Amino acid sequence: MSDLVAAAARVLRDAEAKHAPCAPLREQFPALDVASAYRVQAENVRAAGGRVIGRKIGLTSRSVQTQLGVAEPDFGTLRAEMGFGDGEEIPWARLLQPKVEAEIAMVLGRSLETPGVTFAEAARAVDACLPAIEVVGSRIANWNIRIVDTIADNASSGVFVLGDRPVRLDAFDPRMCGMVIVQRGEPVSTGAGAACLGHPLNALVWLANSMLALGEPLREGDVVLTGALGPMVAVAPGDVFEARIHGLGSVRAVFGAQS
């Protein structure tokens, strides 16, 4: 591991431990590029320990890609301790600058180990879908991020909440399904499956092939958060959000009070 990767990884770990976001990594470490940013991510996943249960896909919105000057998504790693059940209270101390977004989670029923994964192969690999709320977070102050910042920061991951009613992929329309996030009875974010790279399965195809290129194929049982269906919404202590996805069901994220 290079000195650059070790130093950048330590800065992010310190920011999380102190609950104090840091200056952008791109400013602290000008030599940091996409490849080394992924190595920073991997080092901090290793340092955190725990069981890896899947991946999250970020930057699936074309507008966000344009904003960050990239032409493809990125990915982060999901660990078991990051997952919460529908309605389970999320301790505020677990979060940094949190925002919520609604996503379709896909659980794989088979591994994707053959290079050149196609749309049809990805579809066959999906065992079930669940409504999900990803609580993104940033260890970078004021969300002042560019591509290397977010990749190194585990694709700006925080925690995630899964619904409790699995639905088969062919039982709803992942592309056309409408989504709304509701807070105190009022919609605060709306969107549809097509907002995620045109179809959430396109995101899964991208991820499967990206992981194969790294020699870490997606495995049976992996959970994949396929990307946001609408705009993110900032979170305050004590908030409750419900994400409703047509044909897939609903899921609630409940946040604890600030200690």
Q: Is the pTM of this model over 0.75?
A: yes
Q: What is the mean pLDDT of residues 124-140?
A: 97
Evaluate if residue 112 carries a pLDDT over 90.
Answer: yes
Q: 168: number of CA atoms within 13 Å, CB side? A: 3
pLDDT class for 135, splitting at 50, 70, 90? very high
User: 3-11 — which CB contacts under 8 Å span 24+ positions?
Assistant: 4/29, 4/31, 4/32, 4/36, 5/36, 5/39, 5/40, 5/43, 6/43, 8/32, 8/36, 8/37, 8/40, 8/152, 9/40, 9/43, 9/44, 9/47, 9/152
Which domains, from first to last, does the chain contain? 51-255 (3.90.850.10)
Q: What is the pLDDT of residue 6?
A: 97
Report residue 220's pLDDT band, with 50, 70 and 90 as the boundaries: very high
Contact 210, 180 (CB under 8 A): no
The answer on pLDDT for 178 being more than 70 is: yes
Across 79-94, average pLDDT: 97
Residue 243 pairs in a beta bridge with: 181, 251
Higher pLDDT, 72 or 7: 7
Confidence of residue 68 (pLDDT cuts 50, 70, 90): confident
- The pLDDT value given to residue 1: 65
**12-61, pLDDT tens digit by residue?**
999 999 999 999 999 999 999 999 999 999 999 999 999 999 999 999 98
Determine the pLDDT at residue 66: 75
> What's the pLDDT score for residue 84?
98
Residues 230-255, mean pLDDT to the nearest whole number:
97
